[in-house]
Structure 1
Amino acid sequence: MWVKVCACVVLILGLSHGFLDDAVEVIKLGKEIGEDVLASWEIFGKGYNVTGGVELPFGGRRRERAVLARLAQITRAIQRVESELVNTRSLSLLLASAGRGTRLELRLLEASDLLARVGAAEAQMREYVRYQEQLERSTLESFALWAVSPDRGALPGLVERIHALVAPPTHAFLDKGILALAVDSLQQEQADLCELQLSPHQVVYDMYNTIALAEIKAYAMMQFSWMLLRVYARGNYSQEANLTRKRYAERTARTAALARSALTMARRDVYRCNPDNHVAGETYAEVTRLLQGYIENEVDLNGDGTCKENCPYYTVAASHSCYDPHGYCNVQKRCTGRIVNCQYIDSDMWVCPASRSNNRRYEFIEYENGRVLGKPGHCRLGTTKVDSWWRWLFWHCSYCMCLCDEPGPTSDRYFSLWSSTSDVKNNKVVTGVRLVKHGQVFHLQVSEGHLGPRGNVTPGGWVPVQRFAITDKGVREGEDYHTLTYERRAIDLDELEAPVGRVLTGVRFRMIGAHLHFEIRATMFNYTTGRLAPLHSEWISNDNTDVGDTPRKKLELIRPDIPIRGNVPLQIDSAHDQFVEFTHSDLDADAAQSTVPFLDIQPVQPARGAGLLTGAGVYHRGALHSGGFLGLKVISYDMTRHIRADPPPAGYDDDDEESNVLPSDVQ
């Protein structure tokens, strides 16, 4: 059902993927239009008398041309802003939204229709202005009469109906407007927003701007229609124009208040969901051979070559030898690292080995007692019979199922501790993040864009990753990279945001104790001018630990299978101030051959790299009995404080609050 709702939201926006920063231009446009409309009444020889009642002389064709010339200037200003905001619209989205008949869907469909009518009327008005010399007076007069008619289907009725969808009448106090309804639906985890790479905050903000732009169009058409009717000696219309202005101010103020309320409740995080198809190296990557299931006989787990203990005795051990020259130790690749957490399952088994090029050791293991580890099926390399044995009638040399912790060239388990930042000296901010793997090392990578006035971001590209191998000269563990091990395999899950007046300019991992820890860099900026203050940057983190006064909580993975199996929807199940440990996949489901969680390496880049960001984080997306994915998220800029709807023709305040508190290098 949500696919349909979200599709309709996007259609109404007409701004999806839009440059949210440019939406501030809509507010500025409203101020300018109000001032221009007021100034245009001077065509009649006197200022617009808001009290009405003043008779002004009819100026004939000359005044008609002057009114239309002023209207042409205003329509060009509207077109300029609209061209910066509007993206491709698709009729298929509207068709996809029909069907279920939910309250939100029906209202979005109605709003879409009404907004389209206002847009069509404004387009027709532009054509009339363009061909004014060839038009009959009656054509312009008919349009002007329709634009101010009290009929429900005329322009004033259209904007009032749009407003009723946003702000239901007072008698419907239990009802919600479409902005509030949209927030309620958008707060759920929805695949559509993952694909569109928009936060609920961005979607609702774009909805508001679309409605605000329609109001501006309608207001301009109505006011200039009153002027044309004055030119055509149909009446004075001073009081009517004044009432139009007052009603426009009431509607826009109410809409702005409701938008601020909705935006306050709307989430601002942007992340990725499961793709239609999982592709290794494109949508996900794996930490490999960390705590991997491994079969070893007890006789080889101790330096004495004895079998006098049992499998659980070997909590931490190593492979010391291959005692039996005909045993399975000569068939499989030996674990050269530590062997931990051994257990006894059964004496005899059939082992289906994985190919040498595979990160797995085994496809599945079938024990004589009927228990099967992994997914049984056709064994391409053929199964191998593995039997435990008795030694001197006293000792049973059992095959144990253990975990192999084996760093080295066959294990991808290294995380770069180098920072990834935007070029703040050239006024660039982070516009996206992703995880990438080069060789055996996982890196954080950012995209950057140039920051302009009022939050306008020009998309750039991905900042090249500083690659290295752990064997490179001068590269040191603990300083340049972190190695996951049995004791040091936790990663913190946090959602970090910059303080007000700062934007995201970098990310990095660092170590806090045994935990891989995520941090962001925030840089002070001036919203009005768009200037960054490189000297006023700071790294921000949540340094809480699992042994603090309010301990960081562990996210438990219960019998986790590999996350690319099955069609179970995986949703964010972690919260800020948690951590999760990399571990082996479930013994029964996967023979403990994989390391989970997997890493989501899909890029997170809102608004195609043109969105202003104030934070980022690491989260886990999973479900019961799934290892899930670790992913990155970003937090979009909070536009709530920039929504204003002062009545025309008041002057426009250029959002310069930051200028009063910022240091001189960002003025």
Structure 2
Amino acid sequence: MSARRVHCALALLVLAVAAHAVIDDALDVIRLGKEIGEEVLNSWDVIGRPFNVSGGVELPLIRRREREVLARLAQVTRTIERLELRIEKLGSVAMFLAKAGGRGARLELRLHELADLLSRVAAANRQMREYVRLQQELERATLEDFAEWCVSHDSGALPGLLERVHSLISPPHKHLLGRGILQLALDDLQEDHPDLCDLQLSPHQLIYDMYNTISLTEIKGYAMMQFSWMLLRIYGKGNFTQEASLTRQRYGERSARTATAAKAALAMARRDVYRCDPPVHKEGETYAEVTRLLQGYIENEVDMNTEGTCRDNCAYYTLAERHDCFKDQFCSRQETCNGRIINCQYIDSDMNVCQASGRNNKRRYEWIEYENGRRFGQSYSCSRLPDKVDSWWRWLFWHCSYCMCLCDESGPKSDRYFSLWDSTSDVKNNKVVTGIRLVKHGRVFHLQISEGTLGERGAVKAGSWVPIQKFDPNDQGFREGTDYHTLTYERRAIDLDELDSPVGHVLTGVRFRMIGAHLHFEIRSTPFNYTTGRLSPEKGIWISNDNTEGAEKPRSQLTLHRPDIPTRSPMPLSVDSKHDQFIEFTNTDFEADAAQSTVPFIDIQSVQPLKGGGLSSGAGLIHRGAPGSGGFIAVKLFTYDYSRHVKAEVPPSAYEEPTSEFTPIIN
């Protein structure tokens, strides 16, 4: 990624962090705008008609009305504060902006300008809250001066700030200023961003959170302006009915255009969330391995037939097993393959073999060096004395060759099991899936979910990870094909699918299932009421892509070409799989690794949008890889599509008085 794109991503993440601080409390800005509008309407009813200060109205009456309006304003600010309980996260915004500073890219400049405008409106809102808190000790002139700034025509006053924010979202002259900032942000986010992987955000979430941040700023500005008109009316500066109406009208226009721009961007934004490569690969923390499924193994042909002869060649032994150990040669010094021996090939007669040390080592060999110069594995110092392995002639006619084969051995060192049990959220208690990961317990891989409680309008209260149901395949009562799947040479395919729920449904479960010889991924989808947040557990369904090799348009295979251990990759491994594919677990390349590892590895990093506070509608199984790498099998989530819920509601206008009753103020 170029330096400019990194800085643009950071600037976008600034707004995302700000938005998360706002949306974490999960109160919807559309509902908030409606509540504020109703409160403004009620507040206009409280103050009634304007006072004629020159007519001798008593000051206590003015102060009483002032207190009533400020009390209403306090209610409004408390409502807004419900969306800002974690606004202190904005402290990290300055840090991100400092890193992204000094660049001239159009998007980045606009993001900086937007962040500046939002912070200035937020500062004014904090000042207003402070005035409300100290109203008993403030002079009328202080409140009057602040109210006049809130409705001033000066470009640096509140109305001007709001108009400048809006011009960034919906440029008034697109042929001169280009597209709005949401569309520019979308274009920048359509490519992979490691920063989004780290923060666990989908582009859709980021655009939606930017929209919420901007909408909340509009609500703050609208509330401040309306209550400023009320205060100025109380102070006898005029009627301001028409001005209040124009303020409401302009707020409605801006909100509608912002919603339109947001819907257009959201409709095109990707909703997938997955993990990228960590800074450092750590087995057991970021990845796990299927072990000894197919592993490079040296065997002499004399030991692979019952007669103990050398009449054939290595290629003859496509499927064999070890029958004996002729004269206790190399076979007696190495770990025996007690399973099937597959696809043997002749490389050279003689070799030096560095066997792996350690009783629990997954590898058999560290490297192999043939007399003809070929090397298998990374050749470096050997922790033990290398073995000299030489083929031999028997009775002058037959050459007893050492073959390089693959061993398929299901033993205590082979972790090749996948749980077939459902992993579902507690739908009866209104809980949904908020995270997903692959975990390895013992020798079994499991799908694990985190769950959270679904609330109104897509709000999710973060919960915890649901404990997996642990078991050992060797224990009594557990059955192959029902409780677990065992990978073998013939049954080692895993389907790569990206599954999403129908409209009006959310993700409530995942599982593996067998379809023929393929390990298959499925999701459970449950309908819900967006307004109330209530699930309908009895209507939940399992969704899958049951495409097979015998279908009219069968799945395509993602083939690994001479794959090396993925943690050795010099470049980041990006998603290279597509929906409706499959991949087979296989051995690493002979020359790169002596075929000692099983790839792909399993990415066990958690995928958990907004740390368990995000709503998801789908999930998938993907492969991250590159040419020459075995890559990783990984999970992904699809965040909920909020675009259909984005709309602008114009505040109620019942407080408006007939225009004929308005009398302009004459100074």
Same topology, TM > 0.5: yes
CA deviation map 1:116-165 (0-9, x unaligned): 00000000011111112222222212211211112211111111111111
Q: Which amino acid aligns with 1:71?
A: L
Q: 1:352 aligned to 2:351?
A: no
CA offset digits 1:621-656 (Å, max 9, x no partner): 0111010000011111111111121211179xxxxx
The answer to whether the aligner puts 1:8 opposite 2:11 as a matched pair is yes
Contact 2:493/2:585 (<8 A) preserved: yes
Q: 2:661: which partner in 1?
A: none
Distance 1:174 1:553 in 2: 45
Question: Matched residues in 2 for 1:580 and 1:423: separation?
Answer: 32
Deviations 1:343-382 (A, max 9, x none): 1111111111111321001111111111111101111112
Residue 69 of structure 2 aligns to a residue whose secondary structure is: helix
Q: Distance in 2 between matches of 1:100 and 1:342?
A: 59
2:663 aligns with none
Say if 1:17 and 1:606, in contact at 8 Å, map to a contact too. Answer: no
Tell me, yes or no, if the aligned pair for 2:171 and 2:177 is still in contact at 8 Å: no
Matched, 1:69 2:83: no
Please give the alpha-carbon distance, in whole angstroms, between the structure 2 residues aligned to 1:217 and 1:506. 39
State the partner residue of 2:142. 139
TM-score calculated relative to the size of structure 2: 0.93
Q: Greater CA deviation, 432-441 or 623-632?
A: 432-441
1:372 aligns with 2:383: no
Q: Match for 1:395 among 387, 398, 413?
A: 398
Quote the sequence identity (%): 65
| 1:339 equivalenced with 2:338 (yes/no) | no
Aligned to 2:574: 571
Matched-pair contact (CA < 8 Å) for 2:19–2:210: no
- Residue 232 of structure 1 corresponds to 235
1:86–1:495 Cα change, 3 Å: farther
Choose which of 505, 523, 536 in structure 2 pairs with 1:520: 523
Deviation at 1:176, TM superposition (A): 1.8
CA contact (8 A) 2:496 2:577 kept: yes
The answer on whether the counterparts of 2:25 and 2:85 sit within 8 Å (CA) in structure 1 is no
Matched residue type, 1:165? L
Q: Does 1:609 align with 2:612?
A: yes
Alpha-carbon distance in structure 2 between the residues aligned to 1:188 and 1:293:
38
Q: What is the letter of the counterpart of residue 462 of structure 1?
A: W
Contact 1:168 1:175 in 2 (8 A): yes
Q: 1 CA distance for matches of 2:528 and 2:7?
A: 39
Amino acid at match of 2:354: C
Whether 2:561 is the aligned partner of 1:558: answer: yes
One-letter identity of the residue aligned with 1:287: V
**135-144 vs 511-520, which deviates more?**
135-144
**2:622 aligns to what SS in structure 1?**
strand
User: How many Å apart are 1:174 and its aligned residue?
Assistant: 7.1
Contact 2:375 2:591 in 1 (8 A): yes
The CA deviation at 1:84 is 6.5
What is the SS of the residue equivalent to 2:536?
strand
- Counterparts of 1:497 and 1:114, CA distance in 2: 37
- The verdict on how the C-alpha distance between 1:457 and 1:23 changes in structure 2, with shifts beyond 3 A counting, is closer
Partner SS, residue 513 of structure 2: strand
Residues 65-214 of structure 1: matches in 2 within 5 Å?
65-83=67-85, 87-90=89-92, 91-172=94-175, 175-214=178-217
| SS of residue matched to 1:101 | coil
Q: Which runs of 5+ in 1 are unaligned?
A: 48-54, 652-667
Return the offset for 1:205.
0.7
CA distance in 2, matches of 1:352, 1:537: 55
- 8 Å Cα contact 2:352-2:369 kept in structure 1: yes
Give me the whole-angstrom Cα distance separating, in 1, the residues matched to 2:452 and 2:506.
12
1:382 aligns with 2:385: yes
Shift in alpha-carbon separation, 1:151–1:16, aligned structure 2, 3 A: closer
Preserved contact between residue 122 and residue 217 of structure 1 (Cα < 8 Å)? yes
Inter-partner Cα distance in structure 1 for 2:156 and 2:126: 17
Q: 2:62 maps to which residue? A: 60
**SS of match in other structure, 2:85:** helix
User: Contact 2:47–2:69 (CA<8 Å) still a contact in 1?
Assistant: no
Corresponding letter in the other structure for 2:355: P
The CA distance in 2 between the partners of 1:330 and 1:99, in whole Å, is: 68
Partner SS state of residue 293, structure 2: coil
Following the alignment from structure 1 to structure 2, what is the Cα–Cα distance between the partners of residues 487 and 20?
49
Query: Which 10-residue stretch deviates more, 8-17 or 307-316?
Result: 8-17
| Residues in 2 aligned to 1:500 and 1:19: alpha-carbon distance in whole angstroms | 26
> How far apart, in 2, do the equivalents of 1:87 and 1:351 lie?
57
Deviates more, 1:79-88 or 1:207-216: 79-88
Q: CA–CA distance in 1 between the matches of 2:408 and 2:118?
A: 62
Aligned AA (2:106): R
Match of 1:305 among 298, 305, 308: 308
2:585 and 2:284 map into 1 onto residues whose CA distance is 19
Q: 1:101 to 1:173 in 2, by over 3 A?
A: closer
Give 3-state SS (helix, strand or coil) of 2:567's partner: coil
Match of 1:426 in 2: 429
For structure 1, which segment, 410-419 or 136-145, has the greater mean C-alpha deviation from structure 2 after superposition? 136-145
Separation in 2 of the partners of 1:85 and 1:640?
A: 25
Q: Tell me how far apart the structure 2 counterparts of residues 7 and 155 of structure 1 sit (CA, whole Å).
A: 28
Cα shift at 1:441: 0.8
* CA displacement at 1:87 relative to structure 2: 4.1
Structure 1 residue 24 displacement after superposition: 5.2
On the 8 A contact 1:270/1:634 being kept in 2, the answer is yes
Q: 1:457 aligns with which of 460, 467, 471?
A: 460
Task: Note the C-alpha offset of 1:187.
Answer: 1.9
Aligned counterparts, 1:235-250, within 5 A: 235-250=238-253
Once residues 149 and 470 of structure 2 are traced to their aligned partners in structure 1, the CA distance between those partners, rounded to angstroms, is 66
Equivalent residue of 1:192, what SS?
Answer: helix
Q: Secondary structure at the match of 2:649?
A: coil
Counterpart position of 1:530: 533
Q: Aligned with 1:94: secondary structure?
A: helix
3-state DSSP of counterpart to 1:557 = coil
How many angstroms apart in 1 are the aligned matches of 2:319 and 2:544? 34
Of 11-20 and 625-634, the range deviating more from structure 2: 11-20
Separation in structure 2 between the aligned mates of residue 37 and residue 558 of structure 1, nearest angstrom: 66
| Aligned 8 A contact 1:491 1:580 in 2 | yes
Report the Cα distance in structure 2 between the residues aligned to 1:17 and 1:272, rounded to whole angstroms.
Answer: 19
> Cα offset for 1:506?
1.1
Residues 229 and 244 of structure 2 are in contact (CA less than 8 Å); yes or no, is this contact kept in structure 1? yes
Residue pair 1:289, 1:405 contacting (<8 A) in 2 also:
yes
Structure 1 length as normaliser, TM-score?
0.93
Aligned to 2:486: 483
Deviates most, 80-89 or 70-79: 80-89
Distance 2:492 2:72 in 1: 68
Counterpart Cα distance in 2 of 1:17 and 1:288? 41
| Structure 1 counterpart of 2:81, one-letter code | Q
Task: Please state whether the residue corresponding to 1:496 is helix, strand or coil.
Answer: strand
Amino acid at match of 1:640: S
Q: Deviations over 1:18-76 (max 9, x none)?
A: 685855521111112122222222234259xxxxxxx9x99633332222222122111
2:441 alignment partner, one of 438, 441, 444: 438
Structure 1 residues 20 and 547 mapped into 2: Cα distance closer, same or farther (>3 Å)? farther
Task: Label 1:110 to 1:203 Cα distance change in 2 as closer, same or farther (>3 A).
Answer: same
Shift of 1:456: 2.0
Distance 1:181 1:546 in 2: 42
Q: Secondary structure at the match of 1:479?
A: coil
What is the aligned counterpart of 1:511 among 514, 521, 534? Answer: 514
Tell me the CA shift for residue 416 of structure 1.
0.8
